[in-house]
Amino acid sequence: MSRNLSPHFIGAIFALIAAFLFSTKAIFIKQAYALSPLVDATVLMALRMMSALPFFLVIAWLSRRSYQTIQRKDWVLLLISGLIGYYFSSWLDFRGLMYISASLERIILFLYPTLTVLASAVLFKKPLSFKTILALILSYGGTVLVMLQEQNATPHDQYFWLGCSLVFASAVLFAIYLLLTPGLMQKFGSLHFTGLALSIACVGTIIHFLFATPQPIALLQQLPYQVWLYGLALGLLVTVLPTILMMQSIVRLGAAQSAMIASIGPILTILLAVALLNEHLNLWQWVGCGLNMLGVLMISLSKKS
């Protein structure tokens, strides 16, 4: 029966599974934070990247090839993109989740396609179309609506806006990473680039942890085993596996269609947060979430066309 499955169908299944796995990230992080006061963004990021590093090193090694057109600046850009996209951006996201809900984090992070459009418009001096402007108004207006509703529910939380700012900064850095990657993927090859960039991010995260933690080995030994399990899940189930699945989906469907299917991610995260973290969204927050997704999808469709 598997012989009758078309590449497009298999690609769609891969994208759906990847979207689901990515959507569990915030859930695992919030649950790990609740287990021990010793767990913060730096510790959890280190556990995630330590478990993921061997796999990305293997990917980088198996996909290696000889280079003739790679210049020193390309290697520098590879280093920068790896550190920006999956080290610093991820650390800001993990940090932001210490202060805001998983639902709001996912909605803010979902803005990154709009940020790539804005950055491209500035860098290449291309005027925005009316449809793009409308999409930006919908996506950012919906996001602000969700933020204000959550802030009203926790009016005395002095770290709420800090958490929102950290996650938005994470989205900005990831958008920059996406602008850097197309040319680098053409030169290095998509699979080899991914293995190298993620390995760089893993090493950067581990170095950060070692320097930022007074007694890193002793701290790791004090962590409950459940935190280690969450770190392993974040590394394998939320980082390595969905990255591979999404790349295989892009091979079969193309980047635009894979991204469209993966756009179900915010809804999955919100549903998981409601079921597992006892988070609740009121009617206005659901409206804001819908506006956010509609605006981002309009951007994605216009990019596809």
205-260: pLDDT as tens digits: 999 999 999 999 999 999 999 999 999 999 999 999 998 898 888 888 876 777 77
Q: Please check the confidence at residue 267 and state whether its pLDDT lies above 70.
A: yes
Rounded mean pLDDT, 154-159: 76
How does residue 156 score in pLDDT terms, banded at 50, 70 and 90? Answer: low
Longest dimension (CA), the chain: 58
**Rounded Cα distance, 74 and 66, in Å:** 14
Q: Please check the confidence at residue 159 and state whether its pLDDT lies above 60.
A: yes
**Rounded Cα distance, 264 and 16, in Å:** 8
Alpha helices (runs of H) in 154-189, residue ranges in sequence order: 160-188
CB 188 within 8 A of CB 62: no
Q: Give me the amino acid identity at 240.
A: V
